[in-house]
Structure 1
């Protein structure tokens, strides 16, 4: 993770004479932990809740950035009612606390009201009278506020948005505290409110958080709209369109700290990956972009504007590398295409088309056998593109592969994804063609960009995210007849000869090493 505050963190006062704004990230900084992390307006960590691997518990510790305990918060139960008490600590250590609670929070039952109310009693030191607050919210909304007994606003917590109106997700909140209010007390109340919501089925402190990036109509920028805009370019791969869209997220971001920018970028990446959860190349492209862009030690020592410029520079560079990948593969594969050869292809692959187009431009004489590619008949599209290049092409029905394999000098596939084993996931029928070619000693080559290298290790054909595609047989199918609609299969590495990639010509056994280098 990027370093958020490389300098020494000074002591932060709990009360100020001006309005203060904090960012609450409902995630713990502890790996696999449950909790939340609070940043001030300068991007410094000021409060933490780390419950480690417990999703819900009866005792929570609110700490400062150094781990000093400020409040011990406990859930109490009296007969049928539940309430929470917060105990201030004296030395910052567990079990060294005031015997009397500093505050008490109870959930109010208001049958005729749709809003949610929590009554708060704050006990002050000495003979000072108790203060009464209320925590008010509306069901289904991320916004809630704390008011005093006269209805005056003390604190407002709402879902964080950038200046351009892009929401950062339901687990990233903004907390605005009025002047002369104890921030640590307010944060204790916010923690209790989250725990109360967790008790009734919502996400508790650190229990998982909210949804996607929240881009919608009327917003200044939407990563999905940007992605779809790039996808309109027919020569651009889906993963490259996602990479271009993520680069635009950095350029248009109104974040003021590296943590905000990283969270915004992560939310955008998750939104793109959820756009098509079955696309291996889309997921791999987003993951590799995040690693490439943020993996630079220079970010720890530069001011935010310089760091953001560096991220934009790396994002643009990664986009250019991805766009050039297809051309690099086409050049590297030319030594394997010889005059008079016959090449069998399956499905519609842009990188395979680029390989064959380059070979034709180099005045090489070859012919192509192209499978029909049921159920979407991608082979028909591919054969049309080859005909435009004046490349001799013959269209085959899928079941004629074994019949014509003795005419073939090599098989050339594209790939939806290249997995850790060195095998590939590709259009349905790839595996059986590779089996036939292997049994007849025909080389099987794969052309795939490195942004399709995915951290998957399928053990069999069913060990993949299902990708379905409707099939039209041209005649009615009885309801009792089951139809296999899987759109892709897995070809193990032992049936592949070489992979043509922008990283070089690789054997399947080398793929795992390259994946380690890419994702390390």
Structure 2
């Protein structure tokens, strides 16, 4: 069973919870994330389910706005759009439903994600709040640069996890291909959106990891 965290501290400051790897692997939906666009001359991500079916894609040209990312389904329909919040303290992003309209009325965000890496909490990567940025929802722990991190809700339950994907008998894993494991009661588009934002907050060049 997953160990729940009981503490008088606020959810954001709770320690990193230990999780039962076997239970996560048994129940979770496992996606394979490839840090590459299927389109020529385009950067992005391509995501497949356990049967090899395309489920998510991100395609960004070099001329695209760097502070905006759109997560699409296999058909190219926008699911979630992320925009970096201007004039804010630290690295902060807003997540919108679909592609934000560029006309007069500004859409309201459904999530707010803040980078929280610090010397005081070195394993804390980001906090996820409701759209108003007041209600805490999730904390992201550990090390995205090693493709090893977990998304934990306010009760201490691990709802999603990023894991390095090993290649062959050599045990070499690559940062450009990894696994995203999501508990079945959570829409996988949100954890995938968090992966995209972690990639912005903690960028790294491609390299194999032993």
TM-score relative to the length of structure 1: 0.32
Give CA-to-partner distance per residue, 1:47-72, whole Å, 9 cap, x none: 01101235970111110000000111
Equivalent residue for 2:21?
Answer: none
User: Pick from 101, 105, 110: which aligns with 2:109?
Assistant: 101
RMSD: 2.8
Equivalent residue for 1:60?
Answer: 69
Equivalent residue for 2:207?
Answer: 211
- Superposed, which structure 2 residues align to 1:422-501 within 5 Å? none
User: Pick from 172, 179, 185: which aligns with 1:174?
Assistant: 179
Shift of 1:79: 4.6
SS in 2 for 1:161: strand
The 1:139–1:164 alpha-carbon spacing in structure 2 relative to 1, beyond 3 Å, is same
Contact 2:113 2:129 in 1 (8 A): yes
Q: Which runs of 5+ in 1 are unaligned?
A: 1-17, 204-209, 217-520
Shift of 1:173: 0.7
Distance 1:52 1:115 in 2: 32
User: Pick from 126, 138, 141: which aligns with 1:118?
Assistant: 126
User: Which of structures 1 and 2 has the bigger CA Rg?
Assistant: 1
Equivalent residue for 1:71?
Answer: 80
Distance 2:144 2:95 in 1: 25
Equivalent residue for 2:137?
Answer: 132
Distance 2:189 2:158 in 1: 17
Shift of 1:84: 0.2
Equivalent residue for 1:46?
Answer: 55
Distance 1:78 1:48 in 2: 29
Shift of 1:193: 1.2
If asked which structure has higher relative contact order (CA below 8 Å, sep 6+), I would say 2
1:30 is aligned to 2:39: yes
Shift of 1:147: 0.5
Contact 1:82 1:106 in 2 (8 A): yes
Contact 1:47 1:62 in 2 (8 A): yes
Distance 1:130 1:81 in 2: 18
Contact 1:118 1:136 in 2 (8 A): yes
Q: Which runs of 5+ in 2 are unaligned?
A: 1-26
TM-score relative to the length of structure 2: 0.75
Compare the two structures and name the one with the higher helix fraction: 1
Equivalent residue for 2:200?
Answer: 195
How many pairs align? 181
Give CA-to-partner distance per residue, 1:301-349, whole Å, 9 cap, x none: xxxxxxxxxxxxxxxxxxxxxxxxxxxxxxxxxxxxxxxxxxxxxxxxx
The 1:165–1:101 alpha-carbon spacing in structure 2 relative to 1, beyond 3 Å, is farther
Contact 2:101 2:107 in 1 (8 A): no
Compare the two structures and name the one with the higher strand fraction: 2
